[in-house]
Amino acid sequence: MRKRKVTYPVARTATKPARTTGLTSDPNYVRSTVANINLAALDTRDDLSVGDRVKIGGAGLYAGELAVVESIVVGVIPAYMVRTEAGKTRRVRAVDIERLAPERPSAERPAAERLPAES
């Protein structure tokens, strides 16, 4: 008895379009696979210290939340350990933090800022 010939399915790559072999002639062309590096993230900040209130910027899970700086993380890219108002601890790059003005207690507010109901 003869052995049957084995058949294999067509490769999945056979249905994909052919790739372009070279880059376009435009000198400003940036490939879609190239990562963008923000060099401003390497700059250190001297205006923040432990206990300061900050707002987390950038794009991420905690973006837009208010937090308090708990510690400063030293490294190639400066960062801060912050605790959000929800109680979560997060490491945030220095470039993604906005400093907030310190809050004044309500007893120290001038009379001009008080609501008419408080008088």
Q: What domains lie within the chain, and their CATH numbers?
A: 48-101 (2.30.30.30)
pTM value is 0.55
What whole-number distance in Å separates Cα of residue 15 and Cα of residue 66? 50
Q: Could you read off the pLDDT of 21-75 as tens digits, one per residue?
A: 555 666 777 777 777 777 877 887 888 889 999 999 988 888 999 999 999 988 8
Structural contact between residues 62 and 87, judged by C-beta atoms closer than 8 angstroms: no
- Among 18, 42, 35, 19, smallest CA distance to 94 is for 42
Query: Which of the 8 DSSP states describes residue 29?
Result: -
